[in-house]
Structure 1
Amino acid sequence: MTCSKSILIFFILLSNLSVQVLSSEVEECGAEEDDGCTNKKKALPLKIIAIVTILISSMIGVCLPLFTKSIPALSPDRNLFFIVKAFAAGIILATGFMHVLPDSVEMLSSPCLKENPWHKFPFTGFVAMLSAIVTLMIDSMATSLYSKKHNSGVVKPNSGGEPEELAVVESGGGAHSHFHGHHHGAKLEVQGAQLLRYRVIAMVLELGIIVHSIVIGLSLGASNNTCSIKGLIAALCFHQMFEGMGLGGCILQAEYKFIKKAAMAFFFSVTTPFGIALGLALASSYKENSPRSLITVGLLNASSAGLLLYMALVDLLAADFMGPKLQGSIKLQIKSYVAVLLGAGVMSLMAKWA
């Protein structure tokens, strides 16, 4: 799975969502309640503030791990890197469990939808389960394809994906150098395989975050409820910053060339602001409580939840906690567990307001 393919999938999903929203039924499921918070004129400047602040927060979060030369403490071989990454993984995990999944359940169990089939079958859990399985398939197949692509050599850490033939340099003492060469080659093969995994993880995680980000941005941009927008701005700034740090850590470990790093950081940073701008543009035709919008956004949220939960548990937490770095230090494991609980707890608390 290349960066271009991930971007193509993102635009296909986005175009599908846009078409569904634009073709949403004019007929509304009951009139919107006037709770004193709905004000289109006051909501507009808040949305503009949201675009700017979320963009800045996203850029800071995703770029911070990429500048480890300026911040040596955050380099991938330091303990702090794993602790911060564990905190970010807790954020992503709580996002799936406490924000995206409940939103999907609420939408797909809305009284605005027909009793049959939407109230007769738990579509949220079903779609989330399928999404997790599909993510596993993509994860596994992409890793396999990457491995076959580079089966003629081993990916050098600084090669940006280019295969590098292993060369055993004979230097006197044939038996010793032959053994040393094979030992060195085996070590490089292990490093190359790990690097391939990091690259697949970075790509799949970016895809899941992009789908989720465009949906929450669209919802915020289309809303005129000033009370909910204020809480959402603070929650999303926090969420995007630390989710970006988790993604940035994966991008850093993938050791891409500068152009790929910049492209992935760019797309992460702009998707939520772009979703807000799209919501603004579609505000007149987008009806949050129309059956078509509830079904479309509800199913997208369910699929995003399954993907985010799989990535957080399998490719971020399990990969690190079962890896040699954390397995070699119980003290570091405990610190990382505390970081996971702290990240998940803070993001769970955010569900009270957003």
Structure 2
Amino acid sequence: MAAPIKLHPLAIIIILLSFTVQAFSESESKAPGQCRSESVGGCHDKAEALKLKVIAIFTILVTSMIGVCLPLFSRSVQALQPDRDLFVLVKAFASGVILATGYMHVLPDSFDDLRSECLPEKPWRKFPFSTFVAMLAAVLTLMVDSVALSYYKKRYAKAAVVGDGEKAKNGTIELGDVGHGHVMSPHVHSITEEVTQLLRHRVVAQVLELGIVVHSVVIGLSMGASGNSCTIRPLVIAICFHQLFEGMGLGGCILQAEYGTKMKAILVFFFSITTPFGIALGMGLSNVYTDNSPSALIVEGLLNAASAGLLNYMALVDLLASDFMGPKLQGSLKLQMWACSAVLLGAGGMSLMAKWA
């Protein structure tokens, strides 16, 4: 039996931090004089900024946990179960938030970083690296999506035929690792559409978590290293809003993937802890961090661009297109209209947050 796909967010975080820490440590020697630090007006108050960052760590942690856990406990509420209309509308709203996060927050940040005056004009302002990297990230996500699903479909189908660790029961083989009550005949060489969809939900949940982890590290580091209280204050509110509804979108994917308790806990933990951990690390690096240094700008800009491409692909293809082209919404024009409204409401609300953060 093939084990489910294992995403190791800790390894991803370590890799990201190795690049960012190196960039921050090099910033003092590489930053041009005019690009070395933030403005030091009335908003540059380290004591006030520290207080806000400590509040942000706990507030964002709690908000993230609430957002991602809400769908996981929805089985106890009849109206919020995955086959109900309300669940579809909530997921559509959260998908709109994820879409706007990529287009309205993460990608513009990448443009700001990679087109900064602190970077050499060639090549950074002569070529649109942000959109190029975002495009490559979207194509790579498509490839991972397709190859992973194909690979695990073949492995599960093979396991069903040869009885690799499976339990025969009344002439069928139960795929206990795939979900609740999903069975198939040992004489077929392909798995059912229901099981295929379940495997796809698992791929989607883990790839989406990857994209969220990447941009959450960057957001947390930037906030943690900032000493500008006027910037941090609205950013805390915006990130809380973002984490709540992005968490609901991820939680809905985790719920549909029908993971066991251990895997659910791992995904919830890393989603909830990544941004607060990034803030804490940024606070520790604040003495060596220069937000406009070439190294920091390049690392953050490329990571933001890659994350934007991944999030935009996931929101449009794996979340919205999958639901809107599925039988439930296709069978009800009224529900489609409500779902469209939910998407626009989520995307609009998150877009409005770009005014402050």
TM-score under structure 1 length normalisation: 0.90
Partner of 1:111: 117
Is structure 2 residue 291 aligned with structure 1 residue 303?
no
Q: What is the CA distance between 1:98 and its match in structure 2?
A: 0.5
Counterpart contact for 1:6–1:203, Cα < 8 Å: no
Is structure 2 residue 106 aligned with structure 1 residue 100?
yes
Change (3 A) 1:212 1:164: farther
Counterpart contact for 1:152–1:165, Cα < 8 Å: no
% identity of equivalent residues:
60
Partner of 2:141: 135
Partner of 1:45: 51
Change (3 A) 1:348 1:19: same
Distance across 1 between alignment mates of 2:331 and 2:345:
23
One-letter amino acid of the counterpart of residue 288, structure 2: S
Distance across 2 between alignment mates of 1:325 and 1:131:
30
User: What secondary structure sits across from 2:214 in the alignment?
Assistant: helix
User: What secondary structure sits across from 1:117 in the alignment?
Assistant: helix
Counterpart contact for 2:110–2:305, Cα < 8 Å: yes
Change (3 A) 1:93 1:255: same
* Structure 2, unpaired ranges of 5+: 173-183
Distance across 1 between alignment mates of 2:166 and 2:230:
54
Is structure 2 residue 153 aligned with structure 1 residue 147?
yes
- The one of 327, 339, 343 equivalent to 2:342 is 339
Q: What is the CA distance between 1:5 and its match in structure 2?
A: 4.1
Q: What is the CA distance between 1:68 and its match in structure 2?
A: 1.7
Cα deviations across residues 37-76 of structure 1 (Å, max 9, x unaligned)? 1111110010000000000000000000000233222110
Change (3 A) 1:86 1:307: same
Change (3 A) 1:146 1:8: farther
- The one of 247, 268, 272 equivalent to 1:265 is 268
Distance across 2 between alignment mates of 1:5 and 1:49:
28
* Structure 1, unpaired ranges of 5+: 155-161, 170-180
One-letter amino acid of the counterpart of residue 307, structure 1: L
Partner of 1:57: 63
One-letter amino acid of the counterpart of residue 276, structure 2: P
Q: What is the CA distance between 1:104 and its match in structure 2?
A: 0.6
Distance across 2 between alignment mates of 1:237 and 1:163:
44
One-letter amino acid of the counterpart of residue 234, structure 1: I
Distance across 2 between alignment mates of 1:7 and 1:152:
31
Distance across 1 between alignment mates of 2:26 and 2:75:
49
TM-score under structure 2 length normalisation: 0.89
Counterpart contact for 1:124–1:299, Cα < 8 Å: yes
Distance across 2 between alignment mates of 1:333 and 1:49:
40
The total of aligned residue pairs comes to 335
What is the 5 A alignment of 1:146-295? Answer: 146-153=152-159, 168=171, 189-295=192-298
Distance across 1 between alignment mates of 2:264 and 2:208:
14
Counterpart contact for 1:22–1:286, Cα < 8 Å: yes
Partner of 2:175: none
Distance across 2 between alignment mates of 1:214 and 1:346:
23
Change (3 A) 1:149 1:240: same
Change (3 A) 1:72 1:15: farther
Distance across 1 between alignment mates of 2:259 and 2:346:
27
User: Alignment RMSD, CA only?
Assistant: 2.1
Distance across 2 between alignment mates of 1:17 and 1:2:
27
